[in-house]
């Protein structure tokens, strides 16, 4: 594990773990949005992904959009970041195969 006195470094490690299964084409867009100077675009994209995830019963939209939107919002909203970090830690302990990169 990383240094617990560096919460930003730990968060970054957890986000990279959670994003490990994202397809490369989509990962490029997520990496672009995670740049600190792109905060307005990141918040808008996160919000739209969450709405799309909630409308997953419609064609094209899917439940996969909800966690991705939360990951983007977690970059700027500390309460979401703390909860999401705890969820990722819980998943990594109970179901490590869910976060393993695809082969």
Parse the chain into domains and list their residue ranges. Answer: 7-99
| d(C-alpha 102, C-alpha 97), whole Å | 9
**Structure tokens of 85?**
């970090």
Residue 2 reports pLDDT greater than 60: no
Residue 13 reports pLDDT greater than 60: yes
- Average pLDDT over the chain reads 87
Q: How confident is the model at residue 21 (pLDDT cuts 50, 70, 90)?
A: confident
State pTM to two decimals. 0.80
Residue 100 reports pLDDT greater than 90: no
Mean pLDDT value of segment 29-41 = 93
Tens digit of each residue's pLDDT (9 = 90 or more) over 53-74: 999 888 878 888 999 999 999 9
Q: Which residue has the higher pLDDT, 57 or 42?
A: 42
| d(C-alpha 95, C-alpha 28), whole Å | 26
DSSP result, 13-80: HHHHHHGGGS-HHHHHHHHHHTSGGGHHHHHHHHHHHHHHHHTTTSSS--TTHHHHHHHHHHTT-HHH
């Amino acid at each position: 594990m990383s240094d617990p006195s560096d919460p930003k470094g730990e968060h970054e490690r957890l986000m990279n773990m959670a994003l490990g299964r994202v397809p490369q084409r989509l990962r490029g867009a997520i990496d672009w949005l995670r740049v600190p100077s792109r905060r307005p675009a990141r918040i808008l994209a996160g919000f739209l992904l969450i709405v799309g995830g909630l409308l997953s019963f419609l064609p094209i939209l899917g439940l996969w959009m909800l966690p991705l939107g939360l990951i983007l919002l977690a970059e700027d909203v500390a309460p979401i970041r703390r909860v999401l970090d705890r969820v990722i830690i819980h998943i990594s302990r109970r179901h490590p195969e869910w976060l393993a990169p695809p082969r």
